[in-house]
Amino acid sequence: MASTEASTAAIAVQRRTASYERLTAADRPGVAQPVPERPVPVKPWGAMMLAVVVLVVLATAIWEWRMRSLELAAGDLRDGPSFWAEQRRRLDAGDVQVAIVGDSRILFDTDLDRFQALTGVRPVQLALPGTNGLPFLENVAADPDFKGLLVVGLADMSYFRREIGLMADALDRYEYESPAQRSSFVLHRALSRELAFLDENYRLSRLVQRLDRGARAGTAGPYDSPWKVATTGEDRQTALWRRLETDRYLNDHARHFWARGNQRPPVDDGLIAEILERSIKAVAQLRAHGGEIAYVRPPSAGFYVALEKRVIARERGWEPLLAATGAPGIHGSDDPVTRSLYLPEISHASRACSTVYTDAYVRSLVKVTRLRLLPGAPPPLTPADCAPTGDYIPM
């Protein structure tokens, strides 16, 4: 009773005095500033904090459950500049036999497990989504420690442009990564192995912003930005997100985003010449310190084929690139296997078909590079091995 009265009195005193402004340095010109006031309001802080912890844990658990119901998964480590830099540093240690650079097609369409099962070599995956592979080819070519095979995956519209693209800061992060950035990456990865909701695309603000389906005409809204299309596992093993095979809304959105390329004019001859010159130089540099290179052009489908032909046709980009660099090339439309794969959103192979695609292009790689199939390598795969079943979205 006495303590209740004392608390009530204390609260009453605090209410009378604390409602006035507290003096600050702004009110005390030209004098030594005193130790600040920082009163703790009289409240049942213990009970409040307990309630907060319970509420937050409960809400987070419900959120986690909800995100898993949307097919986010624990173990999806999410890509980023620190993850890329970690893999890039493996080349500095030397003795890397195969590395892959390029854009999202070679990134999503390569099954590292299959590659290793066929050749005994597990490549270092350095391709980046939405990003031009040429600066990364140049980066690896300039590295005297790399003497292996560099697979350069290219989507024509991504390679034949000046901009680096979405993940331009990956190289900066490789050049310098602060201890804080490194530790935050390690911690985030550890949490991502257990929690599904830690996905940039499913942040609170993103979910709110995606409620806007283009209400204001003439503006590029959230629907015009890239959304989640991939999942990333250990050592950057990345694949197309399964939901894009079955969710019509997400699939339509992905195709809508790719269709922005319709605004792009054809690549001019000057830019082509510039890209070829840079490529020639990088390939020569790579070969000079014992490295080897092969270009790989994964398949596309639907309107993307005509779009790519309009912007940078094979005979203007791909063919001159191989001729100028003298590098071997494996084109997705030359192989009957890779021509017939299931590409849910017309730009990337499905998760199952990435295994078939990898099988096919590795079998072509061993014919034109130092890479060799293992004696007991598994037999070739066909499109039938990844034919979609059930309720899937046709190409």
Partner 1 sequence: MVFNSLTFVVFFAIVLVLFTLPLAWATRKIILLVASYLFYAAWNPPFIILLWVSTVVDWWAANRIPLARTQARRRAWMATSVVANLGMLGWFKYGEFFLHNFQALAAGFGIQYQPPDFDIVLPVGISFYTFATMSYTLDVYLGRSQPTRSVLDFSLFVTFFPHLVAGPIMRPTELVPQFQEPRRPTLDQLRFGLALMTLGLFQKVVLADGFLAEPAELLFDGTKVPGALDAWIGTLAFSGQIFCDFAGYSTTAIGAALCLGFKMPDNFRFPYAAVGFSDFWRRWHITLSSWLRDYLYIPLGGNRHGESRTYFALMMTMLLGGLWHGANWTFVVWGGLHGVYLAVERWLRKAFGDYRPGPVTFVMLGLLTYALVNVTWVFFRAATFEKAWLVLKGMFGLNAAAEPILPAVHLTAVTAIVGGIVFTHWRMRTRTLESLVTATPAPVLATAWAAMAFAVIVEQGTGNAFIYFQF
Q: What residues make contact with partner 1 under the rule CB under 8 A?
A: 11, 14-15, 18-22, 24-49, 51-52, 55-56, 59-60, 63, 178-181, 183-184, 187-188, 191, 197-198, 200, 203-205, 208-209, 211-212, 214-222
Q: Least separation, in Å, of the C-beta of 60 and partner 1?
A: 6
Query: In terms of CB distance, is 45 or 333 closer to partner 1?
Result: 45
Q: Least separation, in Å, of the C-beta of 7 and partner 1?
A: 12
Rounded CA-CA distance 114/286 in Å is 26
Strands 238-240 and 230-232: antiparallel
Q: Least separation, in Å, of the C-beta of 263 and partner 1?
A: 14
Query: In terms of CB distance, is 19 or 69 closer to partner 1?
Result: 19
Query: In terms of CB distance, is 25 or 323 closer to partner 1?
Result: 25
Q: Least separation, in Å, of the C-beta of 207 and partner 1?
A: 9
Query: In terms of CB distance, is 142 or 208 closer to partner 1?
Result: 208
Q: Least separation, in Å, of the C-beta of 108 and partner 1?
A: 22
Q: Least separation, in Å, of the C-beta of 288 and partner 1?
A: 27
Residue corresponding to tokens 């010109």:
29
Query: In terms of CB distance, is 46 or 390 closer to partner 1?
Result: 46
Q: Least separation, in Å, of the C-beta of 55 and partner 1?
A: 4
Query: In terms of CB distance, is 69 or 178 closer to partner 1?
Result: 178
Query: In terms of CB distance, is 28 or 370 closer to partner 1?
Result: 28
